[in-house]
Amino acid sequence: MPLRQPSQPSLSSSAFLRIVTLCSLYVSQGLPQGFIHYALKNHLADQGFTTADIGGVIAMISLPWTVKFLWGPIVDRFGIASMGKRRPWIILSQALTVVVLLILATVPDLDSNLRFLGLGILSVNIWTSLQDVCTDSLAVDLVPQKQRGILNGFMYGCSYLGSFLGGTLIGHFLFMEGGSVQLALVALSACVFVIMLLPLFIRERSGEKLLPWTIGSSQLKKDEQHARSTAILFRQIKQAFSRRVALTAALLAVGCHVGNSALNIIASKHFITEVGWDKKAYTYLESFGTWFSLGGAFIGGFVASKLGAKRSVVIAGTLIALVWITFSQLESFWTEEWLIRSNMWVLASLLGLFSVSLFTLFMNVSERRVAASQFTAYMALLNLSIFLGNKVAGPLESALSSVPAVYFASGVFHLGVMTFVILAIKPPEEAPSLPGLKMSFADQWREELKQKGEEEMPQ
């Protein structure tokens, strides 16, 4: 039984600290994504690299995320319980991200060597993906199911905020006079370091050690502890994925982002090199769209809580497909700034809503005892979807007669994915059963008092 410790501010006891910490960690994850997806991608397009070249480099973002499920069993099995179940891994991943960014900043002419640049992007995202695994697992561990939709909205909204800051604030150090990729990487590492101070100085649970050499002990209950053996862990993971809904959700994750990630590469190349957009103006336009994604994410949290995650996924996904199909028929107006701006920002809002709905759906079908493994597997498959879209961007552009045809084909494909959701995915009404998961806050409090041998809370 965990030892009693003096009351301390912690993530488990304070909803405010949970929100601030989880949202800040998602800002940290969004910063490098926004810088690479917007500023660096458009910088490479302006440098004259081909769509296939750019797609190959940008795909290096997604590659570590497609296999990040490998982190899940490690995080579920090992750790420093006296410092919290997830917190030590979060601190380690952020520290390594800062180190890798600073090392890359010392490499001259980084943006002229696509092979080395791609390896650098790969290295950064290996550790960012580890942070994401731990952050999502922390949310599944500590956030009650009824609050997940809304908190997912805030968390992933802050990821978009991080992407906006990465594209504009960090991108500024690339585009300004005398700017460079190296300078931008130094600025990025400084931002990640500042955010790292939150998990460094806030405990996961009251009574745990703040740092390895400070006073404290493990406060994990029996059903929260790391798996006792690798064999037990993989048996639990097998049980979690044995359900039909777990498998159909995995198929959804693979197909849901292919169209959008392919269009993201093709559209940037087309509008900068063919239509004549300035790379800086187009980057800021894309980056500003993350505010609409942020708004869509916030709304998505409430919509997913009100209508259910599945309905929310279908509504947002269908609207995205219809916007692509409609836009494909308006090629004669593609020189009009208002149309490009409106299309980009409407899609950004819908993608924010779509993403949060997906995350909530996957979180609801994940078991808490193997959260790092199961939910991470879904997130890895989402990133596999993005990776596939990035990789097929060049072949898709070559195979179809025009960019409008790519938009139309992507819309039709996405409608097919939404039809699959309607027909094949039947999420459970409640999360997979684990002790205490269906309890109210008051009941959970009573149960904790019983476990500690204290007097029950008054009725």
Distances (CA, A) of 425 to 74, 301, 355, 380, 381: 29, 20, 17, 19, 16
Q: Residue 203 in 3-state DSSP?
A: strand
- pTM score over 0.85: no
Q: What is the pLDDT of residue 95?
A: 94
Q: What is the pLDDT of residue 145?
A: 66
Q: What is the pLDDT of residue 208?
A: 79
Tell me which DSSP letter residue 402 carries.
Answer: S
Taking residues 6-14, report their average pLDDT: 73
pLDDT band at 325 (very low <50, low <70, confident <90, very high): very high
Phi, psi (deg, nearest 5) at residue 203: -70, 155
Range with lowest mean pLDDT among 81-85, 133-137, 435-439, 449-453: 435-439
Q: What is the pLDDT of residue 371?
A: 62
8-22, 179-193, 210-224: range with highest mean pLDDT? 179-193
Range with lowest mean pLDDT among 112-116, 140-144, 267-271: 140-144
Tens digit of pLDDT for each residue in 45-93?
Answer: 877 788 788 888 887 877 787 777 788 788 877 878 788 888 899 999 9
Using the predicted structure, report yes or no on whether residue 350 has a pLDDT greater than 90.
Answer: yes
Cβ 134 vs Cβ 214: under 8 Å: no
pLDDT band at 131 (very low <50, low <70, confident <90, very high): very high
Alpha helices in 143-229 (DSSP H): 145-165, 171-175, 181-201
Which of residues 285 and 320 earns the better pLDDT score? Answer: 320
Q: What percent of the chain has pLDDT over 90?
A: 21
Distances (CA, A) of 128 to 160, 275, 364: 15, 35, 24
Tens digit of pLDDT for each residue in 264-314?
Answer: 888 888 888 887 777 778 877 777 777 888 788 888 878 887 888 889 999
- Please name each of the domains of the chain with its CATH number: 15-443 (1.20.1250.20)
Cα-Cα-Cα-Cα dihedral of 316, 318, 323, 325, to 10°?
160
Q: What is the pLDDT of residue 440?
A: 36
Spatial separation of the C-alpha atoms in residues 254 and 401, rounded to whole Å: 26
Angle subtended at Cα 344 by Cα 300 and Cα 189, rounded to the nearest 5 degrees: 75
Start-to-end CA span in the chain (Å): 26
Alpha helices in 206-278 (DSSP H): 230-240, 244-255, 258-273
Cβ 62 vs Cβ 384: under 8 Å: yes
Q: What is the pLDDT of residue 37?
A: 83
pLDDT band at 223 (very low <50, low <70, confident <90, very high): low
Q: What is the pLDDT of residue 410?
A: 92
Cβ 333 vs Cβ 342: under 8 Å: no
Q: pLDDT averaged over the chain?
A: 81
Spatial separation of the C-alpha atoms in residues 358 and 311, rounded to whole Å: 10
Using the predicted structure, report yes or no on whether residue 3 has a pLDDT greater than 80.
Answer: no
Range with lowest mean pLDDT among 33-37, 174-178, 429-433: 429-433
Each residue of 61-72: b (16+ CB within 10 Å) or e? bbbbbbebbebb
Q: What is the pLDDT of residue 227?
A: 62
Taking residues 1-16, report their average pLDDT: 66
Instruction: Return all residues near 88 (Cβ < 8 A) that are at least 6 apart.
Output: 79, 80
Range with lowest mean pLDDT among 10-19, 67-76, 138-147, 429-438: 429-438
Nearest to 376 by CA among 61, 29, 64, 71: 71
Q: Residue 221 in 3-state DSSP?
A: coil
Spatial separation of the C-alpha atoms in residues 147 and 297, rounded to whole Å: 15
